[in-house]
Amino acid sequence: MEKGVSGLLACIMFLVATVVIVLSLENGNKQTAKQAARQSFQTALGGVGMGATTVPAWNFGDYDPRLQPGAYDRLYPIPGGYSYSPDRLTMVSSFQVK
């Protein structure tokens, strides 16, 4: 087999193997120390945070709808998409103010 052929095939196999290993590590049931720490943190606080923001801009609606009623479609981190919430006027964008 030519050197280039084996090189390209090895490259593809390496990429596939990397993806499979990372996927199995990420989706395995094994609980890591980090996960346990996250669980005990949330247990101690009684559960805080749900949305895709780290700051309580204007109100808690995006930060955690448990703290203040808010639009639940804001929880998803990917911006854009149709607004399903009647209290949102923006269609594809919005701005955050600290």
Partner 1 sequence: MQLHFNLFIQAVLSILRNRDRSLVVTGCLLAVLLPFVTAMAVSEGVREQASLSIDNGADLYITRAQYGRNGPIALDKLAEFAEIPGVVKAVPRISGRTYLGEELAVVVGIDSVELLDNKNKRKNLSSGEVLIGHALAERLELKKGDELRFFLFPAMPFKIVDFIDGDLSIWASSLVLLTFNDAATIFKLPGFASEILLYSRPGTEANIAEHLSSLGKPWDMIPPLRIQTKSIVNQYINRGFDLQAGVFFLFYLTAFALSIPALLILSGFGRGARRKEIGILKATGWQTLEVLEMTCIENILLALLGSMLAVVLAMLWLKAFNGIGIAPLFISGISWIPEFKVPSLFTPMPVLFSFLFGIVLTMLGTVITTWKTAITPPLTTMN
Interatomic CA distance for residues 85 and 81, integer angstroms? 11
- Which one of residues 29, 30, 82, 86 is an interface residue with partner 1 (CB under 8 A)? 82
Residue 4 within binding range of partner 1, rule CB under 8 A? yes
Half-sphere exposure of 2 (CA within 13 A, CB side): 3
* Angstrom distances, CA of residue 85 to CA of 40, 41, 76, 78, 96: 33, 31, 13, 16, 17
Nearer to partner 1, 44 or 89 (CB): 44
| Least CB distance to partner 1 at residue 24 (A) | 10
Q: How many C-beta neighbours within 10 Å does residue 27 have? A: 7
Residue 44 within binding range of partner 1, rule CB under 8 A? yes
| Least CB distance to partner 1 at residue 38 (A) | 5
Residue 34 within binding range of partner 1, rule CB under 8 A? yes
Residue 36 within binding range of partner 1, rule CB under 8 A? no
Interatomic CA distance for residues 62 and 95, integer angstroms? 12
Residue 33 within binding range of partner 1, rule CB under 8 A? no
